[in-house]
A and B are shown apart, each in its own frame.
Chain A
Amino acid sequence: MKINTLSPQIHSRRDWLRQVQKIGLVTLSFCLNPISAFAKKADAALAIEKLTGSNSIQEGRVSLIIPPLVENGNLVVLKVSVESPMTEADYVKAIHVIAEGNPLPNIFSAYLTPRSGKAIVTTRVRLGDSQRVWAIAQMSDGSFWKGYADTLVTLSACTEMV
């Protein structure tokens, strides 16, 4: 008799625990919210496509240096360098920097010439979130190369009020 009376109780407690687990999973998925993250990535992909057109982009030759941990996203020193001989025949035409987590993915575009000597550009940028930043280099022969850097931003550039 005892077992019979206990068993429905145990079952209901198991059911209840399962329910709680389900609720937990649902709320967790809302917190992580992959939809908004992907939307920003799509924006960045669109911005890259606008710059490069239908050309394929190869990985490498471009290196992007940003601090891996940024306290304040308002001024982040960013350095892009591209491996190139920088001669009349073979030089870097343009360097584009795209941030995945910014409200506007484009950060800047620099246009170089053979008289630049070296394909290195440094500037200070704003970062809205912890994110991956891309640098795309357009060579004089029409090929595109890309490199990236990941960074953690503790204070976003977009939160400050006036």
Chain B
Amino acid sequence: MSKTSRTVITMPAQAKQGSIIEIRAIAQHDMESGFRYSEAGKVIPRDIIRTFSCTYNNVPVFSADFYPGIGANPLLIFTTIATETATLEFKWVGDDGYEAINQAHITVT
């Protein structure tokens, strides 16, 4: 897996203050489990995303640890409360120096 990859965030661009918004975060990654064998009979080494974190205006609101049990191109759907107009930052960190960062802006009225 390359050092970084494409990520997509789907969330509303506008929300009412205090409402709960749903965020869908997906990263392009093979999530090689480390339990598969190649045709030569060798174990393919594990190469997965280890952690995911989300900050709302630099305040951490959600994070997750991934294990090989997560499928390829990990998708996470979670919620947060729209408190203020801010930028949300999403960060994925994985094996072999993998790191991906994505940002999304929300206008709260």
Measured in the bound complex, the distance between the Cα atoms of B33 and A102 in whole Å is: 11
Are B36 and A116 touching (Cβ within 8 A)?
A: no
Are B36 and A117 touching (Cβ within 8 A)?
A: no
- Beyond A123-B74, A123-B75, A123-B76, whether A117 also contacts B81 by CB under 8 A is yes
Interface residues of B (CB under 8 A from A): 20, 33, 35-39, 44, 56, 59-72, 74-81, 83
A contact residues around B35 at 8 Å (CB): 103-104, 158
Are B36 and A115 touching (Cβ within 8 A)?
A: no
Least CB distance from B90 to A in Å reads 14
Indicate if A160 sits at the interface (CB-CB under 8 A): yes
A contact residues around B77 at 8 Å (CB): 120-123
A contact residues around B79 at 8 Å (CB): 116-118, 120
Contact-residue size bin, chain A (C-beta under 8 Å from the other chain): 20 to 34
Are B64 and A109 touching (Cβ within 8 A)?
A: yes
Are B72 and A74 touching (Cβ within 8 A)?
A: yes
Are B75 and A117 touching (Cβ within 8 A)?
A: no
Indicate if A28 sits at the interface (CB-CB under 8 A): no
Measured in the bound complex, the distance between the Cα atoms of B34 and A116 in whole Å is: 32
A contact residues around B80 at 8 Å (CB): 115-117
- Beyond A117-B81, A162-B36, A162-B39, whether A110 also contacts B64 by CB under 8 A is yes
Name A98-121 residues within 8 Å CB distance of B.
Answer: 99, 102-104, 106-113, 115-118, 120-121
Least CB distance from B19 to A in Å reads 8
Measured in the bound complex, the distance between the Cα atoms of B76 and A109 in whole Å is: 12
Measured in the bound complex, the distance between the Cα atoms of B36 and A158 in whole Å is: 7
Indicate if A161 sits at the interface (CB-CB under 8 A): yes
Are B70 and A116 touching (Cβ within 8 A)?
A: no
